[in-house]
Structure 1
Amino acid sequence: MKHLEKGVGLASAPRDFLRDLNADNLSAGLVAGIFGLSAGIIHISAGTAAGLPQEFTLLWVISYLMINGLFGLFLPAYYRLPLPMANSIPGALLFASIVPVVGLNEALGATLIAGAIALVVGLAGWMSLVMRLIPMPIVMGMVAGVLLKFGIDMVSPLENALVPSGVMILSFFFAARYLRRVPPLVVTLLVGIGYMALSGADFSNVAFSFRFPEFIMPTFTLEAFLAYGLPLALILVGMETPAGVGLVKGMGYKEAPANAITALGGFGTMLSAFFNLHSTCIAAPMTGICSGPEAGSHDKRWVAAVIVGIIFVAAAPFYGFVFNLIEAMPGYFISIIAGLALLRVISSAMHMTFSGKHEVGAMFSFLIAVSGIQIFGIGASFWALVLGAGLSMLVEFRDFEFALELPRRRKAGAATR
C-alpha cells in the first residue's frame, strides 16, 4: 500500500462537493454522464454482433453502470481530481467476441486474473515505470487519435442533417460568446432537446424496466486467459491508465495517482468478474469532458466526475428504460454533444503531441490510433502506445528521461571509484 498515492480523503467530501458544485461542473458532469450512458449502446451492439442474448447484454450494461458508478463516486472524491470510472471499450469488444468461443464463466475467470494483475502492478508502484517507458507526447498522440473520431462524428451530421446539427453547434459557440454566465453545453443540450421535441421524436417505444446486477461464478481455463485475460491486463495497465493520466496532466494538473488508478481498477475488475462485467478503469473520454475547461475552475472539476458516478448508479437499474430513451433520439444528438465537450481537449492533445520531443513516436501513435487497426485481436489504442514508444526508442532514444540519466550515473560511478 505504500506505493499508492495519498489523497485529500473522504471525510469532508460530501461538504466539499456541495461547496464546489456550480453550473460549469454540473453541466460537464451531466454531459459526461449522458455520454457514459450512451456508451452502453456499444456493449449492446457488440453483444448483438457476437450473437449473445439480449438478456446477457442488458445485464452487462447494468453491471457496467452500477459497479463503475460506485467506484466513480469514491476515486474523484478522495483525490479531488476529475477521475470518472467506467470500463474499457476495447476490452468490451474483446469480451463480446471471446464469450461465444470460451464461454461466459471462463471469460469472467480470465477477467478476474486480469484484474489481479492490474491490482498487483498498482500496489507495487510499477506504473511510474510504465509511464516513463511511454512518454507523454506518445500517450497524447494515442489520446488525440482516439478522440479525433468524436470530433469527426460531431461535424459529420452536417452532411445529412444540416439544420439540426448546425443549430446545435452554433448554439454552443453563440452561448460561449454572448451568454458568459450559462455553460455552453447546457445551452446546446436544451436547444437539442427542444429541437427534437418540436421535430416529433418518437418516444412510443420507451418502456419502464427495473433490474439489478446478478451474481455469477467465474471458472478458470488457460485458453481463456491466453486469448482474453492477458490482452485485457495489457489494455488496463498499458493503455487505459496512461490515457486517463495523460488527459488529466494535459489539462494542467501536475500530478495524477497512476498507481492508485491502476490498483483500484484492478480491484474493481476482480469484483466485476462476479457480476457479468469485464473491467473497471478510468474513463478516458469522460475524463476529457470532466477535466476540460468547460468544467470550470481546476480545483472544482472533480465534482463533475462524482456527478458521473451518481448518474451511473441512479440509472443502472433503469437502463432498459434509459436505453429506449437514447434510442429514440437521433444518433447525431450524442455525437454533437460529446464532440463539443471534447473540442478543447482534442486541441490540447494535438498540441502536446506535436510540439515537443518524441516527434516520430508521437506521430505514429496518433496515426495508429486513428487507423483503428487490430493486431492479434487487440485494438489500435494499445498498439499506438506500444509501437509508438518502441519506434521512438529506436530513432529518438535520447528524448527519453532515462537516456539522459545513464551518462549521469556513469559519471557518478566513475567519481566514486
Structure 2
Amino acid sequence: MTQRAAGADTTHAVLAGVVTGVVGFTSSFAVVLTGLAAVGASPDQAASGLLALCLTMGLGTVFFSWRLKVPITMAWSTPGAALLATAAVPHGGFGAAVGAFMVCGVLLAVCGLVRPLGALVARIPAPLANGMLAGVLLTLCAAPFLAVVEEPVAILPVMATWLALMAFARRWAVPGALVAAVVVMAATGTFGDLAPADGVPVVELVAPTWNAGALIAVAVPLFIVTMTSQNIPGIAVLAGFGYRPDMRGPLTYAGTSSVIGAVGGGHAINLAAISAALAAGPEAHPDPDRRWIAGVSCGVTYLAFGPLSSLITAVAGAAPPGLVETIAGLALLGTLAGAASAALGDGDHREAAALTIVVAASGMTIVGVGAAFWSLVAGAAYLMVMRLAKR
C-alpha cells in the first residue's frame, strides 16, 4: 500500500468514526431526554444527564479503542432510556431514579468482573427479554401516529423525510428527520423563545435516595435490557468482525462509569450494538488492525456533543407538542421490529413472549412497580406452568 493510499484509508477511518458518533447521538438523544423526564428529571437535570452520558461513553470509547487497538464503541442504553420513558416518576422523585441507576451500574460492573454472573444473565430466555423490550417500545413507537393527528403541520414533514430516507439512505433516516424537525421549529418561531443562557452546559448533581419500588421497577429491568439488548449483542458484533478482546475492562468501566454518571443524571452506558458495526466493519478501514482509529474518532465526536447538551435540551423543550416524541418513536421502530421478531420467532416460547409483550405494553403498575418488571414475571410464570404441565 502506498503512503498516499494509507493516508486516505486513515482519513476514511476517522470519518467513519465521526459518522458513527453523529448517527449514534442524533438517532437516540430524544429517547434519552424523554426517558429522563419521565422518571422526574427537570430540564437542567436531563441536560446534565445527557452531558454525563456523552463524557463517560466518549472517554470509554477513546481509551479502550486506543488501548486495545480494537474499535470498541460505547453508547448510552437506548433500550434502557425507552424503558424509562414508559415508567412513572418513582416515589422519592428523580433522586430515587438516580439510586436505581447506580444499582444498575453496580450490577453491570459486577458482570464485567464476575464472568459467571454475565453468563447467568445470558441464560435469561431471550424471547422474554426481547418481549419486555418490544412491549415497552410499542407505546413509544405509536407516539408519532398519535402526534400527527394533533399536529399534522409540524409532524407530517418529519415523517415524510424519515420515510424517504429509509428508502434511499437508511442510515441517515433519523438524523434527516431531526433536520426536518429543526426546519419545522425554525418555521414556527421556536428558536425565538431561546435565551443565550440556554447554551451554557449544566452539571447538576443529584443525591441518590433508596426506594425499594424504584429498585424493582427501574434498576432490575434497566440492567436486564442493557445486558441483553446492548452488552451481549455488542460483544457478538465485534466477534462477527473477528475481534475477541478481553471484555472485562470495557464492561467494568461501563458499569463503574454508569454509577458515577448517575450522580450527574445519566442512566447507563454500555457497549454499542447496532452502531458498533459502523466502526468495526470493512467500511471503516480495509485493514482490521487499523479500524481502532474509527473507534477513537467516534469517542471524540461523543465528547464534542457533550457541551451542546443544554442547548439541545432547551431546543427539545421548546419544540411543538409531539415533535420530540415523534423523533424518538421513529428512531425506535427498527429496534421494535428486531425485538418483536426475536421474541416471537421461537415457537417454544412464542405464547410466553406474547404475554410478556402485552403486559409490558399495558402500562400497569402494582405496588408502585411498573409494567416492565411485571411483564418478566408474567412471562416466566407462564413458562413455569407450561413446563410443569408437560411433566
Over 3 Å counting, the alpha-carbon distance change for 1:68 and 1:98 in structure 2 is farther
**Deviation sequence 1:193-249 (CA, Å, 0-9, x none):** 22332333343333335346477888xxxx937565576653454343123357669
Aligned match of 2:23: 28
Matches within 5 A, 1:26-65: 28-32=23-27, 35-36=28-29, 39-40=32-33, 42-44=35-37, 46-47=39-40, 59=48, 62-65=51-54
Distance 1:170 1:91 in 2: 28
Distance 2:133 2:304 in 1: 29
Q: Which 5+ residue runs of structure 2 have no aligned equivalent?
A: 1-9, 285-290
Matches within 5 A, 1:312-391: 313-356=303-346, 357-391=348-382
Over 3 Å counting, the alpha-carbon distance change for 1:229 and 1:29 in structure 2 is closer
CA contact (8 A) 1:211 1:317 kept: yes
**Deviation sequence 1:368-411 (CA, Å, 0-9, x none):** 21112234433322332343234223315799xxx9xxxxxxxx
RMSD: 4.8
Aligned match of 1:234: 220
SS in structure 1 at match of 2:194: coil
Matches within 5 A, 1:64-83: 64-71=53-60, 80=71, 83=74
CA contact (8 A) 1:143 1:349 kept: yes
Q: Give the structure-2-normalised TM-score.
A: 0.70
Over 3 Å counting, the alpha-carbon distance change for 1:137 and 1:129 in structure 2 is same
**Deviation sequence 1:349-369 (CA, Å, 0-9, x none):** 222222223012211111121
**Deviation sequence 1:21-49 (CA, Å, 0-9, x none):** 486x46632423xx32563354346436x
Distance 2:38 2:126 in 1: 33
Q: Which amino acid aligns with 1:324?
A: A
SS in structure 1 at match of 2:196: coil
Q: Give the structure-1-normalised TM-score.
A: 0.66
Identity %: 19
Aligned match of 2:180: 191
Over 3 Å counting, the alpha-carbon distance change for 1:204 and 1:383 in structure 2 is same
Within the candidate set 159, 162, 172, 2:162 is matched to 172
Over 3 Å counting, the alpha-carbon distance change for 1:93 and 1:72 in structure 2 is farther
Matched, 1:128 2:119: yes
Over 3 Å counting, the alpha-carbon distance change for 1:316 and 1:135 in structure 2 is same
Distance 1:226 1:246 in 2: 27
Distance 1:158 1:141 in 2: 27
**Deviation sequence 1:123-155 (CA, Å, 0-9, x none):** 2111222221x2222222122112222320122
Over 3 Å counting, the alpha-carbon distance change for 1:386 and 1:261 in structure 2 is farther
Distance 2:251 2:60 in 1: 12
Q: Which amino acid aligns with 1:345?
A: T
Over 3 Å counting, the alpha-carbon distance change for 1:198 and 1:98 in structure 2 is closer
Distance 1:232 1:150 in 2: 17
CA contact (8 A) 2:135 2:357 kept: yes
CA contact (8 A) 1:142 1:384 kept: yes
Q: Which 5+ residue runs of structure 1 have no aligned equivalent?
A: 1-13, 404-417
Distance 1:347 1:92 in 2: 18
Distance 1:57 1:40 in 2: 6
Give the superposition deviation at 1:111: 6.3
Within the candidate set 141, 149, 167, 2:139 is matched to 149
CA contact (8 A) 2:17 2:296 kept: no
CA contact (8 A) 2:55 2:303 kept: yes
